[in-house]
Structure 1
Amino acid sequence: MTSTPAPDRVRTRAPGKINVHLSVGALQDDGYHDIATAYQAVSLYEDVTAERADDFSVRFTGPIDTSSVPTDDTNLAIRAARLVARTSGHRGGVHLTIEKQVPVAGGMGGGSADAAATLLAVDTLWGTGLGRDELLRLAAELGADVPFAFAGGTAVGTGRGDELSPALAKGEFHWVLALSETGLSTPAVYRALDEHRERYRADISPAPRTPVVEAQVLQALRAGDAELLAENLHNDLQAPAMRLQPALAQTLELGERSGALAGLVSGSGPTVAFLVPDRDAALEVQVALSASGFVALRANGPVHGARVLH
């Protein structure tokens, strides 16, 4: 029997995501929140090329500004590679080249997609054979959104967002994404939410201990019904994101006026995702946003999670 020689280079891909529903529970004693979210993986991808090396390094290519992204050991992709090496006992490193298509600090899980694609890339490159279940476990150690970037498709996330249950989704949903010139810090958005809830606690309902995804969201996904989904898009982080970046209100208004069924801030923002009825409407909304000076991208979902390209 002949064994297949280990490759010197592996290229993988993982998708960005949109949270079509995001409910945030009460602030807990450990400083975290439980959430309930419906994730949809969309066709903006992070492509990772892994090459054998003596140490660990990463560089970026592609159209996205990565000047704020660290390239040292705090980088999530480097952390993913080191975690696989530590878990498997592999000796040696990797050089990663990441072609970024997902905006940085945009609420679409670009860093999580980097980590998910890297887990698969180095496992394949090194022949460590950890398997899907073990890679998903490692993904959860790296961050709440990493397991979904690995799994892709459509799913409900609970706990920190990393406890995944696949959700049935029919057909294809079309999105237009309006990017922002400046990112938003996820911890800052959560702090703004907590401050708002504390300030107005006498006037608003208390945050749930155990949030849930609304049934109508799951029904819309299951039926492939874009109009029903548009009516039920929800994000508890949208209001605090808009307080930190007030211009997001005008972005939402412009997209909806230009033909979108509805829009919402994706995750912790500031990317705004507009759900549209079809490809033609997506093009119209993209043109309108571009004419107003936005970088606007079209995407569709759901799409596959992390996979090996070659």
Structure 2
Amino acid sequence: MLMRPPLLQMLLLCCASFALGFSLANAAFSPSRSPINLNHGLKARACLPRKDRLAQMVTDDKFLPSKQFGLQPPDLTLLAPAKINLFLRILGRREDGFHELASLFQTVSLFDTLDFWSSPADDSQPLYSMEVTDSSLCADLIPTDESNLVMKALHAFSERTSSKQRLHCRLHKEIPAEGGLGGGSSDAATALHAANRLAGFPLSEDELIKLAADLGSDVGFFLSGGTA
């Protein structure tokens, strides 16, 4: 016959287990940990708790807009959602050697945040510019030049509309870069929405969808989001 341990002994055992687990978790995520040396030579640090990240965003220059905009609040702030693939099936092979795919996308509640500042065009400044901040350690890995899909989207919008309105974008990453969650495409779609809105809606919804499709099929999906 099995003997049950006394109630007090069980409670003490549970408390000890919880305390040990909490101590290990706290040690693993403590912001005071030494930097980790990664293979690519970058210095990484453990992610700060949310309250510390918010405090850092106020005091750290890298979280402020470019100096030419001063400390004024952004003209527009939009969220760019991530997406997951709920279903994927490879269909028949096409004549060009590629395969047809059937898939089902769903946006989820994980977002990048994009702030936009608008100003009149200035020949001494580029028409579009951007900066990237990150809650982890990927900001230095994300380009801010013409290779970034956000910049491609803004320039495509300018070419389609002949817009000369200057825009600066601050992208704060929460969606992991190159994580298969569509962060780059979502950011580009959000940039198109912002540019069109700040310019007074020169493009109709159909025209905006066509422009997004030229940038990539995922960009077109993120214009409306939801399930598709």
TM-score, normalised to structure 1, is: 0.45
- The answer as to 2:156 corresponding to 1:83 is yes
Question: Which residue is 2:200 aligned to?
Answer: 127
SS in 2 for 1:127: coil
Query: Is the 1:49–1:121 contact (alpha carbons within 8 Å) kept by the matching residues of 2?
Result: no
SS in 2 for 1:24: strand
Question: Which residue is 1:145 aligned to?
Answer: 218
* 1:57 partner letter: S
Query: Is the 1:48–1:121 contact (alpha carbons within 8 Å) kept by the matching residues of 2?
Result: no
Q: Distance in 1 between matches of 2:176 and 2:146?
A: 21
* 2:154 partner letter: A
- Structure 1 gaps, min length 5: 1-7, 156-310
Question: Which residue is 2:34 aligned to?
Answer: none
Matched-pair identity in %: 36
User: Greater relative contact order (Cα 8 A, min sep 6): structure 1 or 2?
Assistant: 1
SS in 2 for 1:105: coil
SS in 2 for 1:40: strand
Cα distance, 1:32 vs structure 2: 4.5
* 1:18 partner letter: I
Q: Distance in 1 between matches of 2:101 and 2:194?
A: 29
Question: Which residue is 1:43 aligned to?
Answer: 109
Query: Is the 2:165–2:199 contact (alpha carbons within 8 Å) kept by the matching residues of 1?
Result: no
For the pair shown, which has the larger CA radius of gyration, 1 or 2?
A: 2
Structure with more helix by fraction: 2
Query: Is the 1:51–1:125 contact (alpha carbons within 8 Å) kept by the matching residues of 2?
Result: no
Q: Distance in 2 between matches of 1:33 and 1:96?
A: 37
Q: Which 4+ stretches in 1 moved above 6 angstroms? A: none
1:153-302 alignment, distance < 5 Å: 153-155=226-228
Query: Is the 2:132–2:142 contact (alpha carbons within 8 Å) kept by the matching residues of 1?
Result: no
SS in 2 for 1:145: helix
Question: Which residue is 1:104 aligned to?
Answer: 177
Cα distance, 1:119–1:152 mapped onto 2, change above 3 Å: same
* 1:45 partner letter: F
- The answer as to 2:181 corresponding to 1:115 is no
SS in 2 for 1:49: strand
Q: 2:131 aligns with which of 24, 37, 59?
A: 59
Query: Is the 2:131–2:144 contact (alpha carbons within 8 Å) kept by the matching residues of 1?
Result: yes
Post-superposition Cα deviations, 1:2-57, rounded to whole Å, max 9, x if no partner, equal xxxxxx72222221100011123456565654321111100011221121254211
TM-score, normalised to structure 2, is: 0.60
* 2:161 partner letter: S
* 2:101 partner letter: I
Post-superposition Cα deviations, 1:253-283, rounded to whole Å, max 9, x if no partner, equal xxxxxxxxxxxxxxxxxxxxxxxxxxxxxxx
SS in 2 for 1:59: strand
